[in-house]
Structure 1
Amino acid sequence: MSESTTEHAGGCDHDISHPIFAALYDRLPEPAQVRRHREYLTRDLSGRVLDLGCGNGELFPFVVDGRTDDLEYHAIEPDPHMRTRAENNARESGLPVDLRDARAESLPYPDGAFDVVVASVVFCTIQDPDAALEEVARVLEPGGEFRFLEHVRADDWRASGQDLLTPLWRRAAGGCHLNRDTVDRFISHDAFGIEEIERTDAGAFPAAPVVRGTLGRNSGTLFESGSNVRRR
């Protein structure tokens, strides 16, 4: 099945409240490589930053460790159960966060509002990822950064397994799609140029491979960025 076929099998994910998944999420074992990915996303953050779908606030302690004096941190999270956990984590970590109930497809911010947008395993759950990416481009100022960490559709035999598992996985894992070509969607958008992309096959099937990277917001006109893509 293609991504578009599987994505709409069984109906769209209109329900953004997942109390059982939210309760279990805090108890899930954390892979060893997750820490370095979070450090990558939050290193040297400064200026106005948006955490796009912050979940339970798992990035907040890392933001505190590397923040600068001029950091202004904003976050959205549509799931009320996750948002409650994020509020608690913000208090515990000591990070001032403007946390809002909003969806990535319709961000409550003006054009060019942010210097950095961070997305940590969130585009797999967004109902309309194309609309969300348009919103990321809109709220980033020219020259701003879009930092991301996402699991993506495999390019070998595992892809068929992801297609088969996605309808059930989506219901059990808070709307998560296993088989989205997320990074291809990112780098094909005219608003962004590649600064860095790293793909790794580390991680457990079916939520692998994993790709992280940084895209730069173009200054109104399309430019050809150098290919700085690493695979390991």
Structure 2
Amino acid sequence: MTADHVHPIFARIYPRLDAAAARAGGAAHRDELLAGARGRVLELGAGHGANFAHYPAEVTEVVAIEPEPGLRARAVAAAAATAVPVAVRAGVAEDLDLDDASFDVAVASLVLCSVGDPVRALSELRRVLRPGGELRYYEHVRAVTPGAVRFQKYTDVFWPYLAAGCHVSRPTGEWIARSGFTVRSERRFAFPDSRLNPASPHLIGVAVRD
């Protein structure tokens, strides 16, 4: 399985979109996601490194996996300017070249929407976490109301072609709860708070490997 998923247009546009989202509240969400993290951390789908500056000092190392080469290059540059040690690697979520039970924390941040097989990716995250290790997740997910879910499913006919494989209607929270994790805390919210944005429903949570 190749470690590179090449999306050059998305790789150029996404950092700008993320910067706007950070100013609108996304930076605070990343702080919430990572507050209290400690030890050795695996970050899945690190993108251009938007999370790196939000890791607390108690984190001893971050191994950041990113399959898109343009975003990965930006992540390498971001890692060089970050206080916490960060090693950026190529890789894919469904086949992590990492040892079993070798991480204290795994981070999935706006990535499970776009991996080819999210259930397998969660299985891999569980494998590399030590028993009792934490999965911290910040994802846009399937809506709650039937009308909003229908809107998302219609959107998913074309959305993945525009957004590097991203799907807006995935029940990611349900998958996490069924993948060998116990959900310790979870918050559902809209970001942005707009019914016209199919990616608005979000979750931030912490789950523990059983």
Note whether the superposition's TM-score is higher than 0.5: yes
After superposition, give the CA deviation of every residue in 1:100-121 in whole Å (9 maximum; x if it has no partner): 1100101111110100001101
**Post-superposition shift, 1:155?**
2.2
The answer to whether the Cα contact below 8 Å between 1:145 and 1:214 also exists between their aligned partners in 2 is yes
- Could you tell me which residue of structure 1 aligns to residue 174 of structure 2? 184
**Post-superposition shift, 1:94?**
4.3
The answer to whether the Cα contact below 8 Å between 2:189 and 2:201 also exists between their aligned partners in 1 is yes
The answer to whether the Cα contact below 8 Å between 1:124 and 1:151 also exists between their aligned partners in 2 is yes
**Post-superposition shift, 1:16?**
1.8
The AA in structure 2 aligned to 1:81 is G
Mapped to 2, the partners of 1:131 and 1:48 lie a distance apart of 22
TM score, norm. by length of structure 2: 0.90
TM score, norm. by length of structure 1: 0.82
Aligned residues: 201
Structure 2 residue 70 is the aligned partner of structure 1 residue 81: yes
Unaligned runs of 5+ in 1: 1-13, 219-232
Mapped to 2, the partners of 1:26 and 1:135 lie a distance apart of 27
After superposition, give the CA deviation of every residue in 1:183-229 in whole Å (9 maximum; x if it has no partner): 1111122x2112101111342411021011000111xxxxxxxxxxx
**Post-superposition shift, 1:44?**
2.7
Mapped to 1, the partners of 2:36 and 2:4 lie a distance apart of 35
Secondary structure class of the residue paired with 1:149: strand
* 1:158-177 aligned within 5 A: 158-177=148-167
- Could you tell me which residue of structure 1 aligns to residue 131 of structure 2? 142
Q: CA RMSD of the aligned region, Å?
A: 1.6
- Could you tell me which residue of structure 2 aligns to residue 114 of structure 1? 103
The AA in structure 2 aligned to 1:164 is Y
In structure 2, which of residues 140, 149, 153 is the aligned counterpart of residue 151 of structure 1? Answer: 140
The answer to whether the Cα contact below 8 Å between 1:49 and 1:74 also exists between their aligned partners in 2 is yes
**Post-superposition shift, 1:15?**
8.0
Structure 2 residue 11 is the aligned partner of structure 1 residue 22: yes
Percent of counterpart pairs with the same letter? 40
Unaligned runs of 5+ in 2: none
